[in-house]
Amino acid sequence: MIFSSLIFLYLFLPICLVAYLVARPIKVKNAVLIILSLAFYAWGEPTRIIFLLLSAVVNYFVGVGIGFFKKEKYQKLCLICGLIFNIGMIGVFKYSGFIMRNINAIFSADLPVPDIVVMAGISFYTFQVISYIVDCYWGKVQPQKNFFKLLLYVCLFPQLIAGPIVRYETIAAEIDNRKTTLNDFSQGLTRFVVGLAKKVILADQLYRIVEDFLGGSVNSLTVAGSWYGVILYSLYIYFDFSGYSDIAIGLGRIFGFHFNENFDHPYLCKDITEFWQRWHISLGSFFRDYLLPVTFFGKRNKYLSLFLVWLCTGIWHGANWNYIIWGLYYGMFILLETFIGKKRMNKIPLVIRHIYSKLVIIIGFGIFYFEDIGKLGTFLKNLTPFNPNGWGGFFEQASLTSNLFLIIAAIICTFPLMKAFGKLAEKNDTARAVISVSGTLVCVCLLAFSSILLVDSTTNAFLYWRF
């Protein structure tokens, strides 16, 4: 089941809200969320729930073990066992086929390549439980002794499939003590509708154009067609992923949970370091907090740590070489900006910094798109004047003309519009009332328009569900 479907919007979610509101004690509310979250995850593929439950059980006992033992060596042993299990789960389900294909290619072998379906959301919920057991070991959180409370943290359906990666410490108190105020419900519902509109009205429509240009033969793309396609892909991936995050944060708010932000208008960045402080914040903070402290031969080396972080960032996104190249590509620019230093970077004219950062980001998403390395090489060549197909043609012009309003709307929506309206609402009661009424009407229209688009469309799953 996906959020951008009529079944979820008009069947599953209403049932969930009614059942949750009817339940009174917090224990019953938690039980309702667990049951509905497991049903949500098992929808269409019931067997995968076994591995989610297995992950919850193993990490529950790892946490309990860390809390039970007083000697550090036993606590460390529990942690190591937990890490081996969690990383092993991702390795088997996500990377075993990739590893075997490369072994066959390198050694000219003919070993069987496992055809294992990637478990939806496995990278997200596995990273959550890794953060939980590491934080238990570091003493940042107390191990949860109630299995069902930990299970709620692991399987909570708003952020189960595609994040944000929620730390246990973020919602530990709210598992036992939370309530949904009218303001929470209103803001959560607004955030949900905005996220849905990002996905259905902007991302899905942009993706159709992207597929027209990048989804076919890249050999025939002109320079303009290549840039046009990858720029729209950069917009698509932002609205698709940030749309999911908005939906997750909004749903969490409705149920009394306050998740951290995952995006902060990343295309306003002035350099690549700032971009990754605004893009997929929960993943970036995970690697910063859990990988940067890693020592090499007993000493910390920030350059080796940066290499490890960006290698893992690429690997995390998928079992293909283009993702590894993509991670190291960004790592190279982060390293370059580290060498230059923040003070020197700030002295560079703002216009140049914006142009530099957007070019790096756009080309980076081109690397992200093409899993076939041969096609990727052709695409990168097509971005340059060495493209044998020329600079442009009628196809690009016709597409731009017919989709101009969509593209302009998408560009405008990369700016912090909601923050701007929020600041206006703070000025006086009249402005607050006008913006409140107008915002409600806009949300109703967005929900109606999104629903209409979903009626006759083949729903596209959120891109990050496969990660």
Contact 258, 177 (CB under 8 A): no
Q: How far apart are CA 229 and CA 400, in angstroms?
A: 10
Is 93 in contact with 122 (CB distance < 8 Å)? Answer: yes
Among the listed residues 265, 280, 317, 354, the single catalytic one is: 317
CA dihedral 67, 70, 74, 78 (to 10 degrees): 10
The answer to whether 61 and 145 have CB atoms below 8 angstroms apart is no
CA angle 266, 446, 467 (to 5 degrees): 45
- The length of the chain is 467
Q: What is the DSSP string of 190-223?
A: HHHHHHHHIIIIIIHHHHHHHHHHHSS-GGG--H
Q: Per DSSP, what are the bridge partners of residue 437?
A: none
Residue 361, C-beta contacts closer than 8 angstroms, at least 6 positions apart: 234, 267, 269, 272, 275
Q: Residue type for 92, please?
A: V
Active site residue 258: no
Active site residues: 317
